[in-house]
Structures are given as C-alpha cells and as structure tokens.
Amino acid sequence: MAKIVFLGAGNMAGAMVHGLLAKQVVPPLDLACYTASGRSAAALASATGIRQASTPEDLLSGADLLVVAFKPQHLSSLTPEWKELTAGKLVLSIMSGKTLARLHSVFPLARNWVRTMPNTPGRIGAGITGWCAAHELTGTDRHTVQELLGALGRELETTEADLDAITAVSGSGPGFVFEFAAAMESAARDAGLGAAQARLLTVETLLGSARLLARTGENPEQLRDQVTSPNGTTLAGLNTLKAGHFRALLSQTVLAARARAREIAQEP
C-alpha cells in the first residue's frame, strides 16, 4: 500500500493509524505524522511505533498520500511550502466543512483531492465514513482510499452535495446519541436505579436496539410498534416524547449541525 502520512495527530488520526496497523494494511514504518508543536505527534508515534516527522519536508518526502487530519480552522495557517510539497500527492481531508475547491486552492499541485467525513466510533473500527473525490480515482488510489477508510469501519462513496448532511447525521450524530444516553442514564437514576445499574441498562439497551435495527432490516417504526402495547408503558413514554416534539427537536438539531458545516465552508 502507498506510504501514508498524517498532518495532525488527534483522535481521528490515531483511530486511522490504529486501524491500519490492527488490520495489517501497512507496517508502522510506512506511516508518519507531523504537528507544528510536536506534542500530539510524539504521543501518537510513541503509542503506535510510526515515525514522527520533524518538518513538513520530512513528512512529505517519499510519501504518496497526505491525510489532512487537523481542525478546519488550521487550514488557513498553512505556509506556502505545502503547495510544492504536495505536488503529485493524493490529498485526503477529514476536516468538516472544507470543500474540494478549498482543498484544491491550498494544495493546487496534488494529483487528486478526497473529502471525507468519518466519525468517532471509527476509534474501535465501528465507524461510517462518507467520502467523495474531486476527480475519478485511479484503481490504485481508490483501493488506497477504501483501505484507509475501511480501517475505521464502513465507507460510503457519495457526492459532495451530500457531505454537509452526512457531517450532521453521522459525523456529529455520535454526540447526539451520547447526549441521549446521558439523559436516559440520568432518567434511570431519577427512577430509583443506582448509578451502575443505570449505566449498564442504558448501554445494553442502546446496543441491543441498534443491533436489532441493523440485523432485522425492519424500519424503526415497525420495531417501535413491536414493543408498544395499547395503554402500555412504552406508549405512555412515547406520548411524552410526542408532546415534547421530540422528532421536530431532533430535526432542528441535525439541521443546525448542517448549517454550521456550511458556515465552516465559508470561513478562511
């Protein structure tokens, strides 16, 4: 597989590196990372055995694929040297909101640009990553991209027009699910359960429900109805969610996240 290097060494870069190594897609010495401060890069290199590059030139020397894995606001701070250093390279971004056109403007000499939106379950190989490329990928580059993203879980090729919505649903979605889990856990304690019981019941209920949804192929409403009896406990709870406009609130949540992704695209 092509030599892969990471500009940034945070959680998602670490998830990619751990996934690639766990699946033996590429050996540690064919991976490298770089950060301006060096701190997070040193930590990632120490934890995984990959190489910590000392300079941008050192990072890109001999590399074929650059993964831009830092926060979107850092893109505007890149120095002009990155233009020449990425000439002929494949550039893949995991930054939310940064368009293919923006990537092209920063790395104009790259051979192609890939925009992706992974999510944090990728840390355990259970993620889903939407992605698109500026131009049709060669067979070799497509294989490289799919193996890299496959290290995080499943991957879904899509259009750039859909990526802001994907950012809101699956990129930000784990945050919404974790907030729901925290609320359910808190509610379990309000109902009289101890902290350990509340955590166990919440986690296992979420896991089991998600697995049931994935494995049966039935839609969520069908599965909801199977657990809902006339005048029963589930119906009482569902009526409370309905009265609180739960679905409308969740729709507003996702649309707010999509709007922010579009705002990021306009920022320098």
Whether 138 contacts 65, CB under 8 Å = no
- 190 and 144 housed in the same domain: no
How far, rounded to the nearest angstrom, does the alpha carbon of residue 115 sit from its chain's CA centroid? 12
Report pTM.
Answer: 0.91
The long-range contacts involving 206-209, CB below 8 angstroms and separated by at least 24 positions, are: 206/177, 206/181
DSSP 243: H
Tally of CA atoms within 13 A in the half-sphere of 81 that contains its CB: 8
- 116 and 186 housed in the same domain: no
Q: Can you give the residue range of the structural domain that contains 206? A: 173-266
* Calpha distance 67→31 (Å, rounded): 11
* CATH number of the domain encompassing residue 252: 1.10.3730.10
* Calpha distance 47→52 (Å, rounded): 11
Whether 64 contacts 138, CB under 8 Å = no
pLDDT means per 10 residues, the chain with 268 residues, are 88 91 91 96 96 96 96 92 97 94 97 96 93 97 95 96 96 97 98 98 98 97 97 97 98 97 88
* CATH number of the domain encompassing residue 124: 3.40.50.720
Q: Give domain status of residue 165, yes or no.
A: no
Q: Give domain status of residue 37, yes or no.
A: yes
Predicted pLDDT of residue 229: 96
- 12 and 112 housed in the same domain: yes
Q: Is 91 exposed, middle or buried (0-12, 13-18, 19+ CB in 10 A)?
A: buried
- 126 and 257 housed in the same domain: no
